[in-house]
Structure 1
Amino acid sequence: MKQFITFVKKEFLHVFRDRKTLLMLFGLPIVQIILFGFALTNEIKNAKIVICDYAKDNATQQIIGKFEASRQFEIEQTLLSHQQIEAAFKQGKIRMAIVFPANFNNDLLHQNNAQVQLITDASDPNTATTLSGYATQIIVDYQNELMQLQELPYRINTEVRMVYNPELKAAVNFVPGVMSLILLLVCVLMTSVSIVKEKETGTMEILLVSPFNPFLVIISKAVPYLALSLINLTIILLLSVFVLGMPINGNILLLYAVSTLFIITALSLGLLISNVTASQQAAMLISLMGMLVPSILFTGFMFPLENMPYPLQLVSHVVPAKWYYIIVKSIMVKGLGFSAIWKETLILLGMTLILLVINIKKFKIRLV
């Protein structure tokens, strides 16, 4: 244990002596969280929705048919009550719910006025606005068709309610995404050069002839970056709350616990890259290109995954940032507990264990 602590201290000293590493470790996350939080927006299509039809009359069936024919929407299921809508949102499978009240067609024909309620998941404000606009346009088109057939003016009032993010703050969507992107990139990049740096400087030979266990070498390389990444996480959360005005609705301890698991996943991935590369330049190139592009494309906070071909959606399943993004949104935005994120947490845990086993197997006890 004394050797292990000594090795960890050595790694901390390496980090603190390298100003470029410190700048990348703490400067990059601050810049990215501010830029992404204020500057970026996105849009979505082919969104999964649910319909709660209390009327079940001819008018509602025609409108539902228009939603089914639309390329912007995919009806996940038809619900029986409002209570099921909240459960559907908590599962994270839908973007919007449409509610038709009882006597919809009767109100439309006899009072020339009917109500429709659109309930959207505003944890992604741009998506919520876009989908409510598409839905409203479909209903207006149906209203115009009725007015062409009848002399009396028919009017359908659409009520829109935004859940989770009624103020439509863009930060609510981008903060979780940037958290997953930053933590993955920084952790992978920092640890990917740790072992290969020992090879280039010649100190790896000393480690290999020492009685130090290879497993402890790997762990001691990761411990300093784990501690520093948790500091990074705290900085990101403080900026999110006090600069971007994004509240943390869920359990902060649960968020830290799951974030720690994600950080360990990223560190394990970085150590694997460091194990299989021969130079720091190669390790950094693989880390940046191999992590940056998949994290942006397949996480879901910039480009909706449902728009992608099915093979690419399968590829997204092996990107750790995707699962962490879902977890952070569930905790921070929706205020959900562990029961809502246990599957994603289990997937991250499985990835971590697999990466650690591969790291131990790939660790070379001989340089030649």
Structure 2
Amino acid sequence: MKQFFAFVKKEFYHIFRDRRTLFILLALPIVQIIIFGFALTNEVKNTKVAVLDQSHDNATASLIHEIDASKYFDLAVNIHSQSEIENIFKTGAAKLVIVLPASFESDLQHLNTAQVQLIADASDPNTATTLINYATSVIRDYQQRITDERKIPYTISAQVRMLYNPQMKGAYSFVPGVMAMVLMLVCTLMTAITIVREKELGTMEVMLVSPLQPLKIILAKAVPYLLLSIVNISSILLLSVFVLDVPINGSLLLLMMESILFIITCLSFGLLISAGTDSQQTAMFIALTGMFLPTVMLSGFMFPVENMPLPLRIISNVVPAKWFYIIVKSVMIKGVNLSGIWKETLILIGMTIFLLSMAIKKFKIRLA
């Protein structure tokens, strides 16, 4: 064990001597979280909605049909009570709930006015704003149609609630995405490069003749990046809470444990890349194209997955950052516990086991 920690200490010396690497590891995450938190926004076109129809009459059926027929909405589920709304959002079954009161048709016929409540999941503020605008537009068109048919000035007003993010701050959406990007950059890219660098310099063979087992040598080189990634997570969370005013509504311990799981997933992928490459340029290219770009494009934090063609939606399922993004947003913004993210957690665990097994197998083949 003493020899193992000596190798870990040696790797820390390598990191701290290289100022460019140190900047990427520690300064770049801070720059990214500030830029993404303050400067960037996104938009979304389609998503799943749920309907709570308390009236069950012709008027509500007609309005629901209008909403379902819109290209912007996919009616995912019909709920039966107010108590189901919170669970709908926490499980991710819908991002918008439309509540139609029991007196909807009666109010239209006798008072010429009715109310519709729109409840949006504002943990992603841009999505929530867009959905509210689209839903309001559909209701307005429906109002205009029945007014033209009956020649009576009906009025339907929509009451809007934004859950989790009433101020509609973009940082609520970008903080989870930046966490995924930073961990992918630090863990996957830097791990792959540092091991391949040893091969290029010819020092890997020197280390392999040491009394320490080859697998422990590889793990010793990964440990510093695990610890530095934990530091990056802490700095991102501190900036999120105290600079960007993004709360941590769920368990901080659960959030850290899920982040460590994702770090190990990224490290495993970095080890797998290093096992199959012999140059830093090749390792960097594979890491960027194989993980970093898919994290930006297919994780859902920059561009909504729902808007993508079916082949890209299928490919996005093999991107670990997609599942980590869902986990962080659910725990940090919505306050979901482990029972609400068990599926995503199991997927990350499965990916980690697969990637680590493949990396170990390839290293054994190369070192045999």
Q: TM-score, normalised by structure 1?
A: 0.97
Matched pairs, number? 368
Q: 1:62-77 residue pairs with structure 2 within 5 A?
A: 62-77=62-77
Q: Distance in 2 between matches of 1:305 and 1:174?
A: 15
Other-structure match for 2:360 = 360
Amino acid at match of 1:183: L
Alignment correspondent of 2:283: 283
> Given residue 19 of structure 2, which amino acid in structure 1 is its aligned partner?
R
- 1:258 matched to which residue of 2? 258
Aligned mates of 2:160, 2:177 — CA distance in 1? 26
Q: CA deviation at 1:289?
A: 2.6
> Is 1:301 the equivalent of 2:329?
no
Structure 2 counterpart of 1:209: 209
5+ residue gaps in structure 2? none
The Cα of 1:205 is off from its aligned counterpart by: 1.4
**Is 2:55 the partner of 1:55?**
yes
Give me the whole-angstrom Cα distance separating, in 1, the residues matched to 2:248 and 2:53. 34
RMSD: 1.4
Indicate how the Cα distance of structure 1 residues 286 and 272 shifts in structure 2: closer, same or farther if over 3 A, else same.
same
Gaps of at least 5 residues in structure 1 are none
Q: CA deviation at 1:210?
A: 2.8
CA contact (8 A) 1:194 1:271 kept: no
State the Cα deviation string for residues 201-244 of structure 1 (Å, max 9, x = none).
Answer: 11111123233212111211110110011011111111111111
1:365 Cα offset (Å): 6.7
Letter matched to residue 150 of structure 1: R
* Percent of pairs with identical residues: 60
What SS does the corresponding residue of 1:52 show, helix, strand or coil? Answer: strand
1:3-25: per-residue Cα shift (whole Å, max 9, x none)? 11111111111111111100111
Which has the larger displacement, 139-148 or 155-164? 139-148
Find runs of 4+ consecutive structure 1 residues off by over 4 angstroms: 364-368
Deviations 1:307-346 (A, max 9, x none): 1122211111111111110110011100111111111111
SS of match in other structure, 1:193: helix
Task: State TM-score, norm by structure 2.
Answer: 0.97
Shift of 1:364: 5.2
Structure 2 counterparts to residues 334-349 of structure 1, below 5 A? 334-349=334-349
**Which shows bigger deviation, 154-163 or 353-362?**
353-362
Asked if the contact 1:47/1:72 (under 8 Å) is kept, the reply is yes
Cα distance in 1 for residues equivalent to 2:365 and 2:173: 45
Distance 2:85 2:4 in 1: 52
CA distance in 1, matches of 2:330, 2:305: 17
Distance in 1 separating the partners of 2:173 and 2:232: 19
C-alpha distance after superposition, 1:94-149 (max 9, x if no partner): 11000100121111011111110000000011111111111111111111112212
Q: What residue is the counterpart of 1:245 in the other structure?
A: 245
Matching residue's letter, 2:322: K
1:173 paired with 2:173, answer yes
Matched, 1:126 2:126: yes
Q: Give the residue type in structure 1 aligned to 2:28.
A: L
Note if 1:268 corresponds to 2:284: no
Matches for 1:13-28 after TM superposition, within 5 Å: 13-28=13-28
Supply the distance in 2 between the matched residues of 1:366 and 1:76 (Cα, whole angstroms). 50
Secondary structure at 1:363 match in 2: helix
- Measured in 2, the distance between the counterparts of 1:278 and 1:140 equals 62
* Aligned equivalents of 2:182, 2:188: Cα separation in 1: 10
Deviation (angstroms), 1:31: 1.1
The answer (yes or no) to whether the contact 1:208–1:365 under 8 Å persists in 2 is no
Q: Which residues of 2 match residues 152-171 of structure 1 at below 5 A?
A: 152-171=152-171
CA distance in 1, matches of 2:210, 2:60: 76
Report the CA distance shift for 1:367/1:360 in structure 2 as closer, same or farther (over 3 A).
Answer: closer
What pairs with 1:318-333 in structure 2 (closer than 5 Å)?
318-333=318-333
Secondary structure of the residue aligned to 1:42 is coil
Q: How far did residue 159 of structure 1 move?
A: 0.4
Structure 2 counterpart of 1:12: 12
CA positional deviation for 1:68: 1.3
Aligned equivalent of 2:42: 42
Q: Given residue 277 of structure 2, which amino acid in structure 1 is its aligned partner?
A: T
Secondary structure of 1:293's match? helix
